[in-house]
Chains A and B, each alone.
Chain A
Amino acid sequence: MPDGRTHWVAKGIGGIGASKVEWDAEIYNEIENEMIAWRSVDDADVVNAGSVRFHAAPTGHGTYVRVVLNYNPPAGTVGASLAQLLGTEPGQLIKEELRRFKQLMETGEIATIDGQSSGRAEGAVGITPGSFKSEGASPDESQEG
């Protein structure tokens, strides 16, 4: 977008109100290697402002990354907490994002099991009976090893 603005869409929102919320944001303060601060502009669904600050942790324990986020709930949903809108508490969401960011910075990737194999996968079927009681997918007795 022009003027260094960014457009944001928060998806997967349950609870009351909108199924997604959108806003434009501008960076109004930036100090290289130290901090970035943004605020929403015009009529954002969620009026918000925040900052990310970086500074060295003591005794060489890497870099602190601190996120501060302030927000007002969307118009028409007065009293709704962002937690209800996002389906989870924003502090926890941000903490998980920061954890993933740390993993990416330290290891080059984000630890995940999304997409791995399991007996729950589509098409998975039991080929031997369970040991005591077979609650799993249909066992074929004839193949018992």
Chain B
Amino acid sequence: MKAACWNGKHNVQVMSVPDPSIINPRDAIVKITTTAICGSDLHLYDGYIPTMEKGDILGHEFMGEVVELGSAVKNLKKGDRVVVPFTIACGNCFFCKRDLWSACDNSNPNAATAEALYGFSGSGLFGYSHMMGGYAGGQAEYVRVPFADVGPLPIPDELDDEQVLFLSDIFPTGYMAAENCNIQPGDTIAVWGCGPVGQFAIKSAFLLGAERVIAIDDVAGRLQMAAEESNAETLNFKDQDIYDKLTEMTGGIGPDACIDAVGLEAHGTTLDAIYDRAKTALYMATDRSHALRQAIRVCRKGGTVSVPGVYGGFLDKFPFGAAFSKGLTFKMGQTNMHKYMRPLLKLIQDGKIDPSFVITHRLALNDAATGYSTFSSDKDGCIKVIMKPNLN
């Protein structure tokens, strides 16, 4: 089959590789109909995530048709159309039973590596480094899906791929980010980053009852999408001081909750951002946390900072004193996918949201390298890339 492989930093190549096969009884093989490139994939592309190996098959946002089933999968049948969650979870362990699916204890074959770094390992992930399991991803013609009896969500025929594909990651991720803000009537939510995750966090904040959402980025096309698609107020951080502006817009107290939908590659124009860039370039710190720092500083006292943006290692100059003295609540993590997929599918079916609004590029799988370089370099024109193997 064809698959998009990570062959080094800024090097994605479509390769012809063996077809996947059933390895464990709870596996399924899914024939991919549509797959997407995520902002998280850019962290791999840019070489920020350790333990990638050349030849790893990329991709954790995908859907398709079940073509083969392991002997223990009874709830699916060949021919079912399914969306697959990017977190791999067993459904049996302490964490899965408490809806903490991204903390599954049993799905990462390389848990020891993650334990050495983090103390405990999160769940296995598709196409997201060997520390997170080394599972082959779904930017391919076929994929092996472990624990297929608990993950894949069957999709009714009347919904097309573009409407439901983002149930695989970014819609639940934006939704959990907003849910983590514990939104009360009248609340103002500020969202850093108007990439796909930010766009869904904005929409979800409104769905969950926010009165105002203020979206922050420096990319005009993305701010425009937030304004047009979701009625967010927008701030370009190149044009103004975000702390001053947000304080002014909120009657002097700051937003009730702040969402960092940027993650470890935040860029900025202030001194701390430039300092971060120098430090990460010198490998003295691993993550650039400019947006997160800003969120902590401006969030109102007793407010919540919700972090869907990915961090991998160590943060420098983290303003913990500010967080402590203001009594902030922090919520973060990989999305507990399995908890959200069904209820969010219902929102799509009820016409409350059509997630396809973020798509700007539709490519053949063969064009994966172009997809990555465009998504990486043309933030203005390119917001979400989807790829179809059968366009090849």
Judged by a CB distance under 8 angstroms, whether B106 is at the interface is yes
- Stretch from A21-29, A64-72, A108-116 that touches the partner: A108-116
Within 8 A of A (CB), among B127-152: 133-136, 140, 144, 146-147
Q: Are B106 and A107 in contact (CB under 8 A)?
A: yes
Judged by a CB distance under 8 angstroms, whether A145 is at the interface is yes
Chain A nearest CB from B85 CB (Å) reads 16
**Given A92-B112, A120-B55, A130-B369, are A108 and B26 also a contact pair (CB < 8 Å)?**
yes
Chain A nearest CB from B139 CB (Å) reads 12
A126–B144 alpha-carbon span in the complex (Å): 21
Within 8 A of B (CB), among A11-35: none
- Stretch from B2-10, B74-82, B315-323 that touches the partner: B2-10
Q: Are A131 and B12 in contact (CB under 8 A)?
A: yes
Residues in A whose Cβ lies below 8 Å from that of B109: 110-113
Judged by a CB distance under 8 angstroms, whether A117 is at the interface is yes
Q: Are A62 and B94 in contact (CB under 8 A)?
A: yes
Contact check: which of B11, B21, B111 meets A115 at CB < 8 Å?
A: B21
A56–B105 alpha-carbon span in the complex (Å): 19
**Given A118-B56, A119-B57, A136-B54, are A112 and B24 also a contact pair (CB < 8 Å)?**
yes
Judged by a CB distance under 8 angstroms, whether A94 is at the interface is no
How many interface contacts (CB-CB < 8 Å) are there between A and B?
160
Majority DSSP secondary structure for residues of B touching A: loop
Judged by a CB distance under 8 angstroms, whether B372 is at the interface is yes
A129–B5 alpha-carbon span in the complex (Å): 11
Contact check: which of A116, A119, A131, A135 meets B15 at CB < 8 Å?
A: A119
Nearest chain A residue, comparing its CB with the CB of B57: A118
Residues in A whose Cβ lies below 8 Å from that of B18: 117, 121, 123-124
A121–B156 alpha-carbon span in the complex (Å): 36
Residues in A whose Cβ lies below 8 Å from that of B347: none
A82–B53 alpha-carbon span in the complex (Å): 31
Q: Are A116 and B20 in contact (CB under 8 A)?
A: yes
Judged by a CB distance under 8 angstroms, whether B124 is at the interface is yes
Within 8 A of A (CB), among B1-54: 1-3, 5, 7-8, 10-21, 23-26, 53-54
**Given A107-B90, A107-B92, A135-B11, are A119 and B24 also a contact pair (CB < 8 Å)?**
no
A99–B91 alpha-carbon span in the complex (Å): 17
Judged by a CB distance under 8 angstroms, whether A137 is at the interface is yes
**Given A119-B55, A128-B366, A135-B8, are A113 and B13 also a contact pair (CB < 8 Å)?**
no
Judged by a CB distance under 8 angstroms, whether B367 is at the interface is yes
Contact check: which of A61, A117, A131, A137 meets B373 at CB < 8 Å?
A: A131
**Interface positions of B (Cβ within 8 A of A):** 1-3, 5, 7-8, 10-21, 23-26, 53-57, 72, 90-94, 105-109, 111-112, 124, 133-136, 140, 144, 146-147, 364, 366-370, 372-373, 392
**Interface positions of A (Cβ within 8 A of B):** 61-62, 92, 95-96, 99, 102-103, 106-121, 123-137, 139, 143, 145
14 inter-chain pairs at a CB distance below 8 angstroms, sorted by A residue, are: A92-B112, A102-B105, A106-B106, A107-B91, A111-B106, A119-B7, A121-B17, A127-B14, A128-B368, A133-B10, A135-B8, A136-B8, A136-B15, A145-B392
Apart from A106-B106, A116-B20, A131-B373, 11 more pairs, CB < 8 Å: A92-B112, A95-B112, A106-B90, A117-B20, A117-B57, A117-B144, A118-B57, A128-B369, A130-B12, A132-B11, A145-B14
